[in-house]
Chain A
Amino acid sequence: EVQLVESGGGLVQPGGSLRLSCAASGFTFDDYAMHWVRQAPGKGLEWVSRISWNSGTIDYADSVKGRFTISRDNAKNSLYLQMNSLRAEDTALYYCAKEYSSGWPYLDYWGQGTLVTVSS
C-alpha cells in the first residue's frame, strides 16, 4: 500500500524557516517524480514544486522560487521542502504527492498534509 506521510509543519514567524519532510512507502520511490502542492485555508490547490526521480529536473512556482528548495533522498525514501523567508501568504496545508506517468503525467497518490502557519 502506497503511503505518503508529511511532517515538519508548525507555527513560524514571518521571515523564519521550516523544513517539511515526506516519508514514502509502498512503492519504488526512486522511480517517480514527486511534488509539493499547498492549499491555503478555504482556498484552492496551488502547485508548489516538482523534483524528478534523480533530482535532475526541479521546478518551482513563481510564488516560492528563490525561497523554497525541494530535495529528495532516495536512500531514505524521503522528500523534503526547505522553506525560507516565510510570509503570511505561505500559510497553508502542504501536501506531498507522487507523480505517475504512462505518457500522461498525473498525481496518483497524496499524503494527508502538514499545516504551516506563518504568523507573529
Chain B
Amino acid sequence: DIQMTQSPSSLSASVGDRVTITCRASQSIASYLNWYQQRPGKAPNLLIYGASTLQSGVPSRFSGGGSGTDFTLTISSLQPEDFATYYCQQSYRTRRTFGQGTKVEIK
C-alpha cells in the first residue's frame, strides 16, 4: 500500500496567519492527491483534488500544490471556520489511503 505521511500532526495559528501543511507519499502518485477538511462531529469535506484543483464552493484562500511524492495545502489567511483537521488522500491506487491528519488549532 502507498503510505501517506502528513506534517505537522498539529499546529497552532492565529486568525489571518498563512498556514502550510505537507503530505508525503511513499511512492510517486503523480497528481493523484486529494485534501479534505473535517470539523468536529462532522463528515469530511473535499477541498482540493488532483493536487491543485479547488472543489466548487471552496474559498480561494485554500490552495494545493506538488506532484510526485511531495504535496502542500496552504491556507493564505486563516479564518475562524478553518480550525479543523485536514487529511490528504492518494487516489493513484484503488486501495486509497489517507494521511494521519493535521489538526489546526487556535493560538
B-binding residues in A (CB < 8 A) = 35, 37, 44-47, 50, 57, 59-62, 95, 103-108, 110-113
User: Beyond A45-B87, A50-B96, A105-B32, is A110–B44 a contact (Cβ under 8 Å)?
Assistant: yes
Decide: B96 and A104 in contact? CB cutoff 8 A.
Answer: no
Number of B residues contacting the other chain (C-beta, 8 Å)? 26
A45-B98, A47-B89 provided; 13 other pairs, C-beta below 8 A?
A44-B87, A44-B100, A47-B97, A50-B94, A62-B1, A95-B44, A103-B50, A104-B34, A104-B49, A104-B53, A106-B34, A106-B46, A106-B55
Is chain A's interface secondary structure helix, strand, loop, or mixed overall? strand
The total number of A-B Cβ pairs within 8 Å is: 64
Decide: A108 and B98 in contact? CB cutoff 8 A.
Answer: no
B59-102 contact mask (Cβ, 8 Å, vs A): 1 or 0 = 00000000000000000000000000101010100111111110
